[in-house]
């Protein structure tokens, strides 16, 4: 099992949800986060002059999938989240030791 953490542009969340669903991946956890990368920050206006915000609002999606679904998930996300410009985000993949479904007590792949 693998955990996929995808930091994305906020406006792409719903398209990614649909795209993942088409690959049979339904469950996920979503957080509003701030971050920076090659896109860096943005300068906004104060009453006169401007100030710069160094972290931009992003959304982070956490999902856990069976090993065989990892490439499907990556494809589903990148297909709709890619504009080709700085700021599209990143995907991090890491191994997951155990998963427990609270309602039934199922473990492992069955619980995903």
* Footprint on this chain of other proteins (rule: CB under 8 A): 44-54
**Nearest distance, CB of residue 35 and other proteins, angstroms:** 16
**Nearest distance, CB of residue 41 and other proteins, angstroms:** 9
**Nearest distance, CB of residue 33 and other proteins, angstroms:** 17
Q: Say how many C-beta atoms besides its own lie within 10 A of residue 77's C-beta.
A: 24
**Nearest distance, CB of residue 42 and other proteins, angstroms:** 10
Of the two residues 45 and 103, which places its CB atom closer to other proteins in the complex? Answer: 45
Of the two residues 50 and 97, which places its CB atom closer to other proteins in the complex? Answer: 50
What would the two tokens of residue 99 be? 């998963």
Of the two residues 11 and 50, which places its CB atom closer to other proteins in the complex? Answer: 50
Alpha helices, DSSP H, located in 1-112: 13-22, 70-81
Of the two residues 47 and 68, which places its CB atom closer to other proteins in the complex? Answer: 47
């Amino acid at each position: 099992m693998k955990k996929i953490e995808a930091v994305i542009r906020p406006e792409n969340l719903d398209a990614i949800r649909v795209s993942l669903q088409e690959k049979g991946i339904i469950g996920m956890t979503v957080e509003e986060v701030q971050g920076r990368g090659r896109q860096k920050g943005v300068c906004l206006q104060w009453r006169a002059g401007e100030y710069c915000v160094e972290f931009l609002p992003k959304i982070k999606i956490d999902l856990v999938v069976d090993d065989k679904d990892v490439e499907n998930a990556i494809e589903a996300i990148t297909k709709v989240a890619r504009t080709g410009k700085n700021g599209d985000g990143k995907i991090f993949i890491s191994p997951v030791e155990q998963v427990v479904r609270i309602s039934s007590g199922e473990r492992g792949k069955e619980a995903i």
